[in-house]
Amino acid sequence: MALLPILVHPDERLHQVAKPVAAVDERIRKLAADMAETMYEARGIGLAATQVNIQERIIVIDLSEEHDSLLVLINPVITHKDGQTTYEEGCLSVPGVYDTVTRAESVRVEFLDLAGDKQALETDGLLAICIQHEIDHLDGKLFVEYLSPMKQTRIRTKMKKRKKEMKQAA
């Protein structure tokens, strides 16, 4: 397994729309394992392939403290949303920024698993929020785009300043 570099906002590659996975094969299984390792190392609970500059529709999620409940969703599609909830979200591609976002309270998602078999999952709470957040990444959208234009500008400025400081420190 290998750690993958995570793209950081305002990197334009984060706005690319990922293409469906044509076939679930060993390459995809290795990519999912590398994404999971990267997510765990970065102390995240979800990661989309677009965040590691791979434009394919794959997400990994693990909400467990023990890192023993990995969920891999290939070509995920939300087929039903219900209710509304708000939650303070963060993102590995927007480090250090947290803000409240309104999303559906529960979702039904259809996807392929690592064996290439079609699955469906109905869920709510944090898992539903995480699935919506990660699918947004596959569609080229960041959680900060749900915020006011003023907050978006402030965050973009903060991320550019952080990038500049990291380059100077290197």
Cβ within 8 Å of residue 132, ≥6 positions away = 78, 103, 104, 107
Sorted by sequence, the CB contacts under 8 Å of residue 77 that are 6+ apart come out as 109, 110, 111
Coil, strand or helix: which one is 30? helix
Question: What is the spatial distance between Cα 144 and Cα 168, in angstroms, rounded to a whole number?
Answer: 26
Residues 6+ apart with CB under 8 A from 48: 18, 58, 59, 134, 135, 137, 138
Taken as a whole, the chain contains a residue count of 170
Which segments are annotated as binding site for Fe cation?
91, 133, 137
Question: Which amino acid type is present at position 110?
Answer: E
Residues that are catalytic: 134
H or E stretch at 157: helix 149-169
Binding-site entries: 91, 133, 137
To which residue do tokens 């234009």 refer?
149
- CA 18 vs. chain centroid, Å, equals 12
